[in-house]
Amino acid sequence: MGGGLHNLLSMAREQVIIPEVIEPDEKLPPDLVALRKFAYFMDEAVAIPGTSRRIGLDAAIGFIPGFGDAVGAILSAWIIIGGLRHRVPLLHVTRMVINVLLDLAIGEIPILGDIFDIAFEENVMNLKLLLRHRDRSRPPRSFAAIGFAAFIVLAIIVVASVAAIVLLIAAMIWVANKR
């Protein structure tokens, strides 16, 4: 019995963990290079002094009450549209939309949402989903081929953004009336 446990522990120590392989920019199509730079700019452009954390435009504009997170969510749709273009399966595109909507919804909560925006890097996460699950065996779709789906994704994000702004304003009015 003890020998079996020892063998199991030895195997666990010997397990090799291979980091995620990310293609260099030279091997990516130009639109994916642009999306990679965009995700970096949105989520990791500036180091927070004294920490290992980085923030980007998404967290910065999230500090604008109401509209900042809505603008960030609409900008983040660009990566989702890139996923549609590069034939990412619907399950993963749905996950990308959920990531943006989650960032939008929690980001609207004062103070807590700002902290969440700094920690939750949905653009980088969505880019990793795109790069990992894109269909390399077929050429990217044209905008004409994904136009309707892109419109639906943008419509969902815009409607959610408007709803979040309306809920935030309603909550502020409710709090003001309680005083």
Where exactly are the structural domains of the chain? 26-178
pLDDT for position 4: 59
Q: Identify whether the C-beta of residue 87 lies closer than 8 Å to the C-beta of residue 55.
A: no
111: tokens are 């103070």
Mark the ranges of the chain whose per-residue pLDDT is less than 70.
1-26
Token reading at 18: 């291979």
Asked if 71 and 57 count as a contact pair (C-beta separation under 8 A), the reply is: no
Q: What is the pLDDT of residue 28?
A: 84
CA angle 136, 139, 145 (to 5 degrees): 125
- Inter-residue contact 96 to 129 (CB < 8 Å): yes
Q: What is the pLDDT of residue 91?
A: 97
- The three-state secondary structure class of 48 is coil
3-state secondary structure of 89: coil
CA separation for the pair 38, 99 (Å, rounded): 16
User: What is the separation of C-alpha 45 from the centre of its chain, rounded to a whole number of angstroms?
Assistant: 15
Contacts of 142 (CB under 8 A, 6+ apart): none
Selection from 90, 81, 100 nearest residue 31 by Cα: 81
Tokens of residue 84, six digits: 């549609």
